[in-house]
Amino acid sequence: MADCSHDCSTCGSNCSSRNKNSFIKPLHKKAKVKKVIAVASGKGGVGKSLVTALLAVRAQARGLRTAILDADITGSSVPKMFGVTARATGKEGEIQPLRSKSGIQLISMNSLLEHDDDPVIWRGTLIAGAAVQFWTDVVWDDVDIMFIDMPPGTGDVPLSVYQSIPISGSVIVTTPQDLVDMIVKKAVNMAEMMHIPVLGLAENMSYFVCPDCGKRHMLFGASKAEAMQEKYHIPAVAHIPLNPSVAALADAGKIEEADTDALAELFIQIEKANNIRFEK
């Protein structure tokens, strides 16, 4: 229906939207993915790609076969952070994922472009279709956990990804600023409308540790993460510091060397919610 809000609880129509699985697209026949976590936000510029990368690094380091699906088609940055410069290969209807130094499987629009700085000037339906094709056409190799770097906002692409891929949970990324309530509320509401549980909140740039005195400084204001956690009943919170060394590692393609301890509590929640057992 043209006026569908995607909130079935407010509607009496008996349409296919009531069955979440009715829109789910199948994986490639040679692919296998056990669990999928979306990393999302109500706006751009909060660090979703960084959080996605750090979560994947932590999972891989703990013995899980990990993958990243970069659904931010027009702003893909995942390959650069991992130092992956090769182009994805394959044939019609079959794309081979690239692999990072530690073995993380990944696919991104930048992996398919001739040059990293080539713009993707497509309309929304094409962009959404490409994001879903990364699920259906890539031969994911026995993945235990996949993280999807979602595009910002709540438009065509996030909606298509949420409806087409069997996502078992989402992580919402935000920053400590006055707009945080609006940002988190949008992302939470969309996840709820799609019947996807919110597993945690990652507050990026939460604080800065002075290298001289070791004192924490709240450069963007006091943290609002716990207030949002209580208000929206979010199980876990991660406070990610503003760390120039992490930014330098990402720029150098060495994000796998970054410290991921700030995500420990959030990762435990992902483990519990998905009944995952780490090997290490």
Q: What is the pLDDT of residue 118?
A: 78
Angstrom distances, CA of residue 147 to CA of 135, 196, 218: 12, 14, 29
Q: Count CB neighbours of 96 within 10 A.
A: 15
- Give dist(CA 177, CA 201) in Å, integer: 14
> Residue 142 above 90 pLDDT?
yes
Percent of the chain with pLDDT over 70: 91
114-128, 213-227, 246-260: which has the highest mean pLDDT?
A: 246-260
Backbone angles phi, psi at 107, to 5 degrees: -140, 145
Answer whether 270's CB lies under 8 Å from 234's CB.
no
Q: What is the pLDDT of residue 277?
A: 58
> Residue 52 above 60 pLDDT?
yes
**Residue 83 backbone class (left: φ over 0; alpha: ψ -120 to 50; beta: rest):** left
Tens-place pLDDT, residues 74-113: 888 899 999 999 999 888 879 999 999 999 999 999 888 8
Amino acid at 249: L
Q: What is the pLDDT of residue 122?
A: 77
Listing DSSP states for the chain in one string gives -TT--S-GGG-----GGGSGGGGPPPPPTT--EEEEEEEE-SSSSS-HHHHHHHHHHHHHHTT--EEEEE--GGG--HHHHTT--PPP-EETTEEPPEE-TT--EEE-GGGTSSSTT------HHHHHHHHHHHHHTB---SEEEEEEEPPSSSSHHHHHHHHHS---EEEEEE-SSTTHHHHHHHHHHHHHHTT--EEEEEETT--EE-TTT--EE-TT-S--HHHHHHHHT-SEEEE----HHHHHHHHTT-GGGS--GGGHHHHHHHHHHHT-----
- Give dist(CA 44, CA 46) in Å, integer: 6
Instruction: Name 271's Cβ contacts closer than 8 Å, sequence gap at least 6.
Output: 277, 278
Tens-place pLDDT, residues 191-213: 999 999 999 999 999 999 998 88
Q: What is the pLDDT of residue 1?
A: 40
Answer whether 219's CB lies under 8 Å from 207's CB.
yes
> Residue 279 above 50 pLDDT?
no
> Residue 6 above 80 pLDDT?
no
Domains recognised in the chain with CATH numbers: 28-273 (3.40.50.300)
State how far Cα 171 lies from the chain centre: 7
Q: Which residue has the higher pLDDT, 102 or 278?
A: 102
Q: What is the pLDDT of residue 13?
A: 47
Q: What is the pLDDT of residue 44?
A: 82
Percent of the chain with pLDDT over 90: 63
- Give dist(CA 150, CA 36) in Å, integer: 12
> Residue 278 above 70 pLDDT?
no
Q: What is the mean pLDDT of residues 113-139?
A: 85
> Residue 27 above 90 pLDDT?
yes
